[in-house]
Amino acid sequence: MGDDMGGTSEALRSFVEEAPVARGPHVTFLREALADLPAGARILDVGSGDSPYRELFGKFDYLTNDWGDTTYVPDVPVDVVAPAHDLPLADDALDAVVCTQVLEHTPEPWAVIDEFARVIRPGGKLILTAPLTWYLHEVPHDYYRFTAYGLRYLLDRAGFVDAEIRPMNDSAGTIAELLRHLRWILGTADDGRQPLRETSGVLVAELAAVVEQTRWLDTQWSMPISFSATARVPTAS
């Protein structure tokens, strides 16, 4: 899956550039996943945070959601304040749910997927991403990582159909991205070694550029940062 930043704002470009291998594919994925939804479709962005992808939803009835204990303070307040597993919406209230890089922060992800199945109308769509390979973030609310098989199990369990689950980047890209982030992963300490940490981070980032040159050789994409998934709520038979 390529990265397509054409026509995006400077704000979105800057957001993606902070972690291009992790975030770049999200723009392409969302554009493709939204393409078959009609203008005016009612979409809820669950766990939207600062809603960095808001501009991709311009032609839709776009609603945002986050829980009450979020650390995000978005410029535009969220529309629905509630945990992902207990949305204050009627059954079949939405044409689609979007949930990007949120499922790992929910203690019971199966309950969240069940809730999505409840609020999406028959024939409506779930658009989801979840990480396989990433470091701890938003602690202590960081509970899981997901394989394609785990995501398929959760979707099948909730009754979704037509699931398509794909890796979002190649393995070399994952390793390179993590190497670039090593200077932050190492953290800081008042132990006299901080200059060495900083130097090591810079050197490893240079190594990332070398690793990245092997991306085109990957035939399996078995260690992506994230998987994408789309699925539908079945229509009545």
178-204 confidence digits (pLDDT tens): 999 999 999 999 999 999 999 999 999
Residue range 5-22: mean pLDDT, rounded: 93
Whether 2 has a pLDDT exceeding 70, the answer reads: no
CA atoms of 229 and 237, how far apart (whole Å) = 24
Please count the CA atoms within 13 angstroms of the CA of 89 that sit on its side-chain side. Answer: 29
Q: What percent of the chain has pLDDT over 90?
A: 94
Whether 4 has a pLDDT exceeding 90, the answer reads: no
- The class of domain 10-169+221-232 in CATH terms is alpha beta
Q: How confident is the model at residue 237 (pLDDT cuts 50, 70, 90)?
A: low
Predicted pLDDT at 6? 79
62-96 confidence digits (pLDDT tens): 999 999 999 999 989 999 999 999 999 999 999 99
What is the residue type of 191? D
Closest CA to 164 of 126, 131, 210: 126
Closest CA to 132 of 92, 175, 85, 93: 175
Predicted pLDDT at 148? 98
CATH 3.40.50.150 range(s) for the chain read: 10-169+221-232
121-174 confidence digits (pLDDT tens): 999 999 999 999 999 999 999 999 999 999 999 999 999 999 999 999 999 999
Mean pLDDT of the chain: 96
Phi and psi for 55 in degrees, rounded to 5? Answer: -65, -20
- Token pair recorded at residue 8: 């995006």
101-127 confidence digits (pLDDT tens): 999 999 999 999 999 999 999 999 999
Q: How confident is the model at residue 1 (pLDDT cuts 50, 70, 90)?
A: very low
**Taken in order 164, 30, 139, 107, is the CA torsion positive or negative?**
negative
Phi and psi for 228 in degrees, rounded to 5? Answer: -105, 155
Report the chain's C-alpha Rg in angstroms.
19
Whether 220 has a pLDDT exceeding 60, the answer reads: yes
